Structure 1
Amino acid sequence: MNDSHLDPRINRFREKIVKHDQLEDVLDHVIRLVTSPRPETVAALVGPSGVGKSTIIRAVQRHLCALHAERMERDPGFLPYLSFKATSPLDGNFSWGDFFTRALVKANEALVRKKFIPQMQVELDGSTVNSARGLIPQELRRSFESLIESRDVQVMIIEEASALLRIKKSGIPILQFEVLKSLAVQLRKPILLIGAYDLLGILDGGGQLLRRSDVVHFPRYKLDAGASLMTGAQGQAPQAFVNVLHTFLEAIPIEKEADLIQHADYFLARSVGCVGVLKDWLDRALVSVLSKPGAPVLTRAAIKEAALLNGTVLQLTEEAKAGEARLLQCSDDELARQLGLDSMPALDAPFPPQTTEEKEKPQKRGKSSKVGNRGPSRDAVRTASDPAPSTSA
């Protein structure tokens, strides 16, 4: 999109990127998964909308390009990664044909539009197939697999991956899980899925996919009742969020009303603790102020006017809380109960000490394990008057 018509002050603010305080940890985790993967890895980066997952993706892509820079220069056909978006289906059912087509187009694969069968009838293994439409996705998949192998794609990054789980009928999208599993097994290259909490539907897949899956959570900021930033407030913004808000306010290149930073809890609550939501909110306020005559000033009124509706904030909050609840692990006691144990074994638990009876119990001597070894017995002592032993054969 051409932004040349925009006020340069808007462009300067939109170019500002502020790091989430957990971004480095999440980024390091994702990079470890895609650069040192187990065979057949399917990893998922999940988090609420606007938390900063796109920033993670761009950083991972830059890291992969830097890591493979020498080979990229030596081999123009090599791809350190293939990144594309999965689109929501128009008819309610996810289309693998569209998925593979978009991947091939993203990689500039030649003759993508020629990968179809024009005849109404085709001969296949001696049999006539009257409907060839079902063969098109299979051909596209083979082309996709050939692309990954021939260009040695190191990582497949699928954005908006929640679309993979879109089906008309209610229930678990078993087919999608099976395709993901088979792709991971066939290609033996890591697949990185990016999406909101509904992507956690991957955890409903079969055990074979589940054991190959790694879920990385990118959390939002939350109100902290234990903080002391604003005395008397019921919920306090953590200092990390205060720093983010301060950086964004400083990046807005117009005059601002005083002491906005003192209301960090207001900004956190209405942005659901997501950096992207906060930035979009301030962006709308800036655009609104600059569109009005007179000297531009970012006022409290402009900020309130640009805030999300209460219903939208509530929906985003409920989605975030539901996703966070799904990521909670069951307790050791619950797991032990499900496994039929009194308690879960612990790796750092000491061995139980021996009882007094076990310590005093005499140990039985076993027989020598080697033939010809003498047992521990005392030999007879020969005196001078005893005859010498015979040496004859």
Structure 2
Amino acid sequence: MAIGFPRELLRQPNEERIAYFEAYTIAHPKLKEAMKQTVRFIGHRRAKASCITVFGPTGVGKTTLLQKVEQVLIQEALQDLQTDRGCIPVVMVEATAPESGNFNWKDFFTRSLATLEEPLIDQKIHYGTRGIYRNKEGQLVIESSVASAKLRFALENALKHRHPLAFLIDEAQHIQKMASGRRLQDNMDCIKSIANLTRIPHVLVGTYELLTMRNLSGQLSRRNQDIHFSRYRADCKEDVEAFLNILLTFQRHLPLQEEPDLLSQWEYLYERCLGCIGILKEWLNRAFSDALEEEAATLTYKHLQQRALSITQCKKILQEIEEGEKALQETAEDCNKLRDRLKLNQGEPTEPDASEKDTGKANPSPPKKRKVRRVGSPNPKRRKVGGQDSA
């Protein structure tokens, strides 16, 4: 069989071989489709999708997706970089999990500003906020006393100055770590507001927990574009074939003396990665490292078994996947209920009843006109006749 790695790697130290395989990624069908959609939605600024939400199972490969999208956007911006030296083509930040309670916006704004501050760019930013400046070495300094609102204002200025093609937020489900639903909507309103003010699409990438955030309000739903980065399913023939091709590609790129036979173990591999290529790749990375440490000629079932997720772990991940997939299902019954509420299932539109025409709001009776008297005319009343003393 043809190998996919440079043969000279077999003469390199184990660290070199491990680094090669860890860096190797596959542009598999579901990754390519999600990347294609994300780049297309970012490019369609006139469509006013200020926020793009990419969600999928944990370990499906979302971080790899972001890296691929970043590469494409940088490539697209190369021509503009020749004339605009202050431009940063894309900004990518990870939304870190809060230590306790609510999401830390101050930390998020600080990390975002640091990402936007490229030291090699001569065109520096004036942030317009006291407490954010450069020291004598030209390094960005953000004083701890700067309030969150001022950090946000500085971030908006930086985004307008650097005008990236997109603002990518990894692990975006952490933004919803709030004590109440009201605060959760405030968080999404904040993201939407920054995206609208800067006119830069914000791409939120995370697990199915993001589904809670996307439907908080009608306005948020209208401004949002969804992308489902799904796993490979064992009940879909096309998905199984793609999964087998992925295994074949991986086994040909493992720099070992003998090519391992992953295809013969495909059901076990699928069982413990649940069709998620990110989980599969991390699993193979660890098993490959063990094989090299043992100076084994190839990767065996034993190496795979000792690095596999436990059944309990798989059950927990699968439960989250099934809940997310169920939340995305739109049945014929759901469609009919929507059509019923919109009065689309009642047949041809009808004319209003005659009673509605007579008394309805569409044709109200005209108001009675008020009679106007001439000035000096007495009010109409009965006058007494006779029996009165003359003045």
Bucket of the pairwise TM-score, normalised by the shorter protein = 0.7 to 0.9
**Matched residue, 2:36:** 28
**2:108 matches 1:96:** no
| C-alpha separation in 2, matches of 1:206 and 1:169 | 15
**Offset from partner CA, 1:46-68 (integer Å, 9 cap, x none):** 11122122222122212222222
**2:74 matches 1:73:** no
Aligned mate of 1:284, from 283, 286, 305: 286
Aligned mate of 1:14, from 8, 22, 32: 22
| C-alpha separation in 2, matches of 1:200 and 1:30 | 17
| C-alpha separation in 2, matches of 1:111 and 1:314 | 51
**Matched residue, 2:362:** none
TM-superposed CA distance for 1:325, in Å, is 1.2
Q: Secondary structure at the match of 1:297?
A: coil
Aligned-residue RMSD, C-alpha: 2.8
Write out aligned runs for 1:259-274 (5 A): 259-274=261-276
| C-alpha separation in 2, matches of 1:312 and 1:247 | 26
**Higher-helix-fraction structure:** 2
**Matched residue, 1:166:** 177
- The more displaced of 308-317 and 66-75 is 66-75
Contact residue 20 and residue 52 of structure 1 kept, 8 A: no
**Offset from partner CA, 1:183-230 (integer Å, 9 cap, x none):** 233222211111111112222321111100111011101112x75xxx
Write out aligned runs for 1:344-359 (5 A): none
| Identical-residue share of aligned pairs (%) | 30
| C-alpha separation in 2, matches of 1:29 and 1:72 | 24
What is the letter of the counterpart of residue 49 of structure 1? T
| C-alpha separation in 2, matches of 1:176 and 1:74 | 36
TM-superposed CA distance for 1:115, in Å, is 4.8
What is the letter of the counterpart of residue 36 of structure 2? D
Contact residue 116 and residue 162 of structure 2 kept, 8 A: no
Write out aligned runs for 1:355-370 (5 A): none
Give the TM-score taking structure 2 as reference length: 0.74
**Matched residue, 1:222:** 233
- CA separation of 1:90/1:148 partners in 2, compared to 1, >3 Å: closer, same or farther? same
- CA separation of 1:64/1:207 partners in 2, compared to 1, >3 Å: closer, same or farther? same
TM-superposed CA distance for 1:263, in Å, is 2.7
What is the letter of the counterpart of residue 26 of structure 1? A
What is the letter of the counterpart of residue 103 of structure 1? S
Write out aligned runs for 1:1-393 (5 A): 7-37=15-45, 38-39=47-48, 41-108=50-117, 115-116=130-131, 136-169=147-180, 173-224=184-235, 227=237, 238-255=240-257, 259-292=261-294, 294-330=295-331, 331-342=334-345
Contact residue 51 and residue 203 of structure 2 kept, 8 A: yes
| C-alpha separation in 2, matches of 1:179 and 1:10 | 42
| C-alpha separation in 1, matches of 2:78 and 2:259 | 47
- CA separation of 1:153/1:218 partners in 2, compared to 1, >3 Å: closer, same or farther? same
| C-alpha separation in 1, matches of 2:75 and 2:250 | 29
Q: How many residues end up aligned between the 2 structures? A: 317
Give the TM-score taking structure 1 as reference length: 0.73
**Offset from partner CA, 1:139-185 (integer Å, 9 cap, x none):** 11110111111222331111111111111347771210221222233
**Matched residue, 1:358:** none
Q: Secondary structure at the match of 1:273?
A: coil
**Offset from partner CA, 1:241-291 (integer Å, 9 cap, x none):** 000011111222225587541231221121010111111111111111222
Contact residue 181 and residue 208 of structure 1 kept, 8 A: no
| C-alpha separation in 1, matches of 2:258 and 2:307 | 15
**Matched residue, 1:363:** none
What is the letter of the counterpart of residue 72 of structure 1? L
- The more displaced of 97-106 and 331-340 is 331-340
What is the letter of the counterpart of residue 272 of structure 1? L
- CA separation of 1:134/1:322 partners in 2, compared to 1, >3 Å: closer, same or farther? farther
- CA separation of 1:135/1:205 partners in 2, compared to 1, >3 Å: closer, same or farther? farther
Contact residue 172 and residue 205 of structure 1 kept, 8 A: no
Contact residue 97 and residue 140 of structure 1 kept, 8 A: yes
Q: Secondary structure at the match of 2:209?
A: helix
